[in-house]
């Protein structure tokens, strides 16, 4: 007869875990309620004594399936191990060891469990609770289902050079999650990916554990390929198993024509059986339509079909990234790690990427500064700050609200705890004065000191973090800032002369527009439509084939280059600012601190900087230029979200004119009031921001 789960007294308000992934949250809530918030273990024991351990043991042993037993085991530990000194609990540990050997098939689980046993017997309370938490983390891997843990990071410390990236980091990735990984530039987002893939090794015994059968695919910011290979040939290798199965099928089919095989019934049966299995696998891999699938993905991500047969050396860095992303999608690993995959995608490419991620059968962790993408695909947001990682449920917009509530709650708890610690310290001070007259207070002093020592300190939350101090002053010049009058631009890609009109490609055809002072204009167009050509014409780096370009008097142009080609990579940051602003070293250092550069960084060469640091430097040099007409080519690509918001606010206050190329939809909604769409060599004008444009065009 099965023993039913007991109903203890004093359990009002306790919850049952509805699903495996809910266990840790339930454990925490139940512990808080059962211990009544007491720090004293004796008080906790008093609350736990009404739980009959023998009944719990029998219930877990007899009535719970193996897949859920580990979760119930942790429920038992929380009800009894939180007391951490209960003699009755310790007497049952030997019996629990035998149950654990049947429950914890994984050696790592077993080791942590045995450490927990030793810690409780030795009354090492802090160690026991840490090991209990580790078991709660690892037990998810026993359960096979929608919430299985694919990757677990435990107590990982990462040190690169003299810089501590993480300290005692704990994190997990479930196999069905879509996680948006965010944090300021330099927080360690890319380093975390490299630690998961094994490129970096955690220090001090930290571990990165992948569940059995889990594969990881990683897209770095700058993927490298054989420069002589073509885009299509590299992408076709995304899933090498397709080619392997196809080759095996050909080999088996050739064997079927061998007289030694078709003349031998057993050999023929084996060959036909092998062929049948290979055909099934080939079909499951989509082998018959594999090449068309490859071409569809490349087109969807925005690589023109004319570039499919080009060697990699002829492609841009963004196009190489598209190839890497397509290869990963085709490889179909259990966990996708994507480091800013959207940086070089146009709007249709971003929409296609969102669809790929939402349809993906596995876990996806994406580093992105595009808040639209994070809203569209993320089921969780993981934020890295100060070497710690915090996970929030929901998309980016929900994360903003949740984080504000958490910070307010943490500030309140911090203040309450500080008042309690202050009260205890005042009492301790009085006891130390009274002990001179009465020795009995010595015991109270010892107990009070131990009580204060046991309090787990709550960190004071950082409510306002330091941000880049960007101020684009500008000034009013001519009312008519930029005018195109019947401007055309054609190219002849063939070096040899051809008959008139043949082989000539028109990038711009009879373009007419006028931009006035104070306007914020966004230039939109597919990759290769001619946006960069139009910018070069404005900057005077190229001349139009026909027509006239007029820049108003008293207009000074400032240019932000997407690939940072306007920077001298052999120059130091300090020298760039000194020469750009004609200022002393002291003033230059002071100026750079506004853009989050330390003195040590200021003496580094620009070539050693990260993409985000180069972006901040370019913005600093734009300020020094005193321009009142800004040409911005993807200014938010390498900026973290906080810095992008600072740029949005600065442009809002800017007394000048802006022409921007950007695919950051949040940024565009906040900054532009006019859109030029470049399509089929012509420009169509739309009034309003990105959302207005999307509504009018149905994109």
Strand partners for 484: 513, 549
Per-residue pLDDT of 39-82, as tens digits, reads: 344 444 444 444 433 333 333 333 333 333 344 444 444 444 44
Could you give the domains of the chain? 20-142 (no CATH), 149-215+333-394 (3.40.50.300), 408-454 (no CATH), 480-556+626-697 (3.40.50.300)
C-alpha dihedral sign at 648, 653, 654, 658:
positive
Cα 121 from Cα 124, distance rounded (Å): 8
- What does the DSSP 8-state code read for residue 608? G
CB 17 within 8 Å of CB 23? yes
Does position 569 have pLDDT exceeding 60, yes or no? yes
Mean pLDDT of 263-287: 79
Which residues have C-beta within 8 Å of that of residue 280, sequence separation ≥ 6?
A: none
Does position 545 have pLDDT exceeding 50, yes or no? yes
Helix-strand-coil percent breakdown of the chain, rounded to 5? 50, 20, 35
> Residue 698 region, left (φ>0) first, then alpha (ψ -120 to 50), else beta?
left
Letter string b/e over residues 359-376, b meaning 16 or more CB atoms within 10 A of that residue's CB: ebebbbbbbbbbbbbbbb
Residue 134: band (very low, low, confident or very high) from pLDDT cuts 50, 70, 90: low
Strand partners for 362: none
Cα 519 from Cα 56, distance rounded (Å): 71
What six digits make up the tokens of 395?
């998309």
- What does the DSSP 8-state code read for residue 289? G
Per-residue pLDDT of 167-196, as tens digits, reads: 888 899 988 899 999 988 878 899 999 999
Does position 475 have pLDDT exceeding 90, yes or no? no
Residue 560: band (very low, low, confident or very high) from pLDDT cuts 50, 70, 90: very high
- Mean pLDDT rounded to a whole number for the chain: 77
Which residues have C-beta within 8 Å of that of residue 367, sequence separation ≥ 6?
A: 181, 182, 189, 190, 193, 338, 339, 340
Residue 338: band (very low, low, confident or very high) from pLDDT cuts 50, 70, 90: very high
C-alpha dihedral sign at 60, 65, 67, 68:
negative
> By CB neighbour count within 10 A (0-12 exposed, 13-18 middle, 19+ buried), where does 423 fall?
exposed
Pick the range with the lowest mean pLDDT from 231-245, 268-282, 329-343.
268-282
Q: Are strands 335-339 and 216-219 parallel, antiparallel or unpaired?
A: parallel
Which residues have C-beta within 8 Å of that of residue 179, sequence separation ≥ 6?
A: 173, 363, 364, 365, 366, 378, 379, 380, 381, 382, 391
Closest CA to 595 of 613, 581, 571, 608: 613
Which residues have C-beta within 8 Å of that of residue 442, sequence separation ≥ 6?
A: 435
Pick the range with the lowest mean pLDDT from 174-183, 434-443, 569-578.
434-443
What is the three-class DSSP state of 627?
Answer: coil
Mean pLDDT of 214-240: 87
Strand partners for 178: 364
Cα 367 from Cα 382, distance rounded (Å): 10
Mean pLDDT of 306-323: 83
Residue 532: band (very low, low, confident or very high) from pLDDT cuts 50, 70, 90: confident
Angle between helices 66-81 and 93-103 (to 10 degrees): 150
Per-residue pLDDT, 538: 92
Per-residue pLDDT, 8: 37
Most confident of 198-212, 364-378, 460-474, 582-596: 364-378
Of residues 127 and 559, more confidently modeled: 559
Does position 143 have pLDDT exceeding 60, yes or no? no
Pick the range with the lowest mean pLDDT from 13-27, 267-281, 476-490.
13-27
Strand partners for 335: 216, 363
Mean pLDDT of 224-240: 86
Closest CA to 531 of 376, 346, 321: 346
Residue 483: band (very low, low, confident or very high) from pLDDT cuts 50, 70, 90: very high
Per-residue pLDDT, 416: 87
Does position 273 have pLDDT exceeding 60, yes or no? yes
Mean pLDDT of 441-462: 83
Per-residue pLDDT, 196: 93
SS3 sequence, 511-573? Answer: EEEEEECCCEEEEECCCCCCHHHHHHHHHCCCCCCEEEEEECCCCCEEEECCCCCCCCCCCEH
Pick the range with the lowest mean pLDDT from 5-14, 85-94, 579-588.
5-14
C-alpha dihedral sign at 368, 372, 378, 381:
positive
N-terminal to C-terminal alpha carbon distance within the chain: 64
Per-residue pLDDT of 610-654, as tens digits, reads: 788 888 999 999 988 888 899 999 898 888 888 888 898 888 888
Mean pLDDT of 136-161: 65
Cα 207 from Cα 156, distance rounded (Å): 6
Tokens 């877990």 belong to which residue? 60
Does position 208 have pLDDT exceeding 50, yes or no? yes
Residue 442: band (very low, low, confident or very high) from pLDDT cuts 50, 70, 90: confident
Per-residue pLDDT, 492: 64
Mean pLDDT of 131-151: 52
Per-residue pLDDT, 113: 59
Per-residue pLDDT, 65: 34
Closest CA to 330 of 365, 287, 373: 287
**Cα angle at 326 between 342 and 223, to 5 degrees?**
70
Residue 111 backbone dihedrals phi, psi, to 5 degrees: -60, -45
- Find the helix or strand (DSSP H, E) in which 219 lies: strand 216-219
Cα 237 from Cα 150, distance rounded (Å): 25
Of residues 496 and 457, more confidently modeled: 457
- What does the DSSP 8-state code read for residue 655? B
Per-residue pLDDT, 431: 86
Does position 496 have pLDDT exceeding 60, yes or no? no
Per-residue pLDDT, 3: 37
Per-residue pLDDT, 130: 55
Q: Is the pTM of this model over 0.85?
A: no
**Long-range contacts of 48-54, Cβ-Cβ distance < 8 Å, separation of 24 or more:** 48/79, 48/80, 48/82, 48/83, 48/86, 49/86, 49/88, 50/8, 50/9, 50/10, 51/6, 51/8, 51/79, 51/80, 52/6, 52/8, 53/80, 53/88, 53/89, 53/92, 54/92
Cα 55 from Cα 268, distance rounded (Å): 61
Does position 665 have pLDDT exceeding 90, yes or no? no
Mean pLDDT of 465-476: 77
- What does the DSSP 8-state code read for residue 459? P
Residue 461: band (very low, low, confident or very high) from pLDDT cuts 50, 70, 90: confident
Per-residue pLDDT, 695: 83
Cα 209 from Cα 108, distance rounded (Å): 10
Per-residue pLDDT, 120: 56
**Cα angle at 293 between 292 and 295, to 5 degrees?**
65
CB 671 within 8 Å of CB 648? yes
Does position 141 have pLDDT exceeding 70, yes or no? no
Does position 10 have pLDDT exceeding 80, yes or no? no
């Amino acid at each position: 007869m099965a023993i039913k789960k007991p109903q203890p007294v004093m359990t009002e308000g306790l919850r049952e875990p509805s699903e495996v992934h809910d266990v840790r949250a339930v454990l925490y809530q139940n512990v808080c309620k059962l211990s009544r918030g007491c720090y004293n273990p004796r008080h906790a024991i008093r609350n736990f004594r009404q739980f009959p351990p023998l009944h719990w043991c029998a219930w877990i042993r007899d009535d719970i399936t193996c897949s859920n037993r580990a979760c119930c085991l942790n429920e038992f530990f929380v009800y009894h191990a939180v007391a951490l000194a209960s003699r009755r609990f310790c007497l049952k540990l030997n019996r629990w060891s035998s149950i654990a050997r049947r429950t914890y098939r994984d050696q790592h689980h077993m080791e942590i469990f045995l450490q927990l046993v030793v810690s409780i017997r030795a009354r090492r309370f802090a160690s026991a609770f840490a090991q209990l938490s580790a078991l709660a983390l690892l037990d998810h891997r026993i359960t096979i289902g929608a919430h299985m843990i694919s990757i677990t990071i435990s107590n990982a410390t990462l040190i690169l050079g003299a810089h501590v990236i993480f300290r005692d980091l704990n994190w997990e990735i479930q196999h069905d999650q879509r996680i948006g990984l965010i944090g300021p530039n330099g927080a360690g987002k890319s380093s975390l990916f490299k630690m998961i893939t094994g490129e970096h090794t955690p220090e001090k015994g930290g571990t990165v554990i992948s569940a059995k059968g889990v594969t990881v695919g990683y897209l770095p910011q700058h993927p490298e390929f054989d420069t002589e290979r073509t885009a299509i040939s590299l992408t076709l290798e995304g899933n090498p198993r397709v080619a392997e199965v196809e080759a095996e099928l050909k080999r088996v089919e050739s064997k079927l024509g061998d007289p030694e095989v078709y003349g031998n019934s057993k050999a023929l049966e084996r060959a036909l059986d092998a062929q049948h299995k290979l055909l099934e696998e080939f079909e499951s891999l989509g082998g018959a339509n594999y090449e068309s699938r490859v071409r569809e993905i490349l087109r969807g991500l925005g690589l023109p079909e004319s570039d499919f047969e080009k060697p990699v050396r002829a492609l841009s860095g963004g196009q190489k990234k598209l190839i890497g992303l397509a290869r990963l999608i085709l490889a179909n690993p259990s966990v996708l790690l994507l480091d800013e995959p959207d940086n070089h995608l146009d709007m249709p490419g971003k929409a296609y990427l969102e669809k790929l991620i939402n349809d993906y059968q596995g876990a996806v962790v994406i580093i992105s500064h595009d808040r639209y993408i994070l809203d569209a695909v993320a089921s969780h947001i993981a934020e890295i700050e100060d070497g710690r990682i915090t996970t929030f449920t929901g998309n980016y917009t929900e994360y903003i609200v949740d984080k504000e509530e958490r910070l307010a709650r943490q500030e309140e708890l911090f203040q309450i705890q500080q008042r309690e610690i202050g009260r205890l310290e005042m009492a301790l001070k009085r006891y130390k004065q009274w002990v001179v007259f009465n020795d009995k207070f010595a015991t109270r002093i010892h107990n009070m000191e131990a009580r204060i020592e046991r309090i787990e300190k709550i960190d004071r939350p950082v409510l306002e973090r330091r941000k880049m101090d960007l101020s684009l002053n500008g000034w009013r010049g001519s009312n008519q800032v930029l005018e195109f009058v019947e401007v055309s631009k054609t190219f002849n890609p063939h070096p040899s002369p051809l008959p008139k009109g043949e082989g000539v490609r028109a990038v711009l055809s009879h373009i007419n527009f006028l931009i006035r002072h104070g306007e914020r204009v966004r230039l939109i167009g597919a990759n290769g439509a001619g946006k960069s050509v139009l910018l070069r014409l404005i900057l005077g780096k190229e001349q139009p084939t026909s027509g006239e370009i007029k820049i108003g008097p008293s207009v000074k142009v400032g240019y932000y280059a997407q690939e940072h080609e306007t920077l001298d990579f052999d120059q130091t940051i300090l020298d760039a600012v000194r020469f750009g602003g004609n200022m002393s070293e002291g003033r230059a250092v002071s100026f750079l601190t506004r853009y989050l550069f330390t003195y040590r960084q200021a003496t580094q060469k620009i070539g050693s900087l990260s993409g985000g640091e180069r972006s901040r430097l370019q913005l600093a040099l734009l300020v020094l230029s005193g321009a009142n007409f800004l040409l911005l080519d993807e200014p938010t690509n390498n900026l973290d979200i906080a810095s992008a918001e600072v740029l949005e606010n600065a442009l809002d206050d800017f007394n000048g004119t802006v022409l921007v190329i950007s695919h950051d939809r949040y940024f565009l909604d906040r900054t532009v009031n006019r859109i030029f769409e470049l399509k089929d060599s012509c420009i169509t004008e739309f009034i309003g921001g990105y959302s207005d444009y999307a509504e009018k065009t149905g994109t």
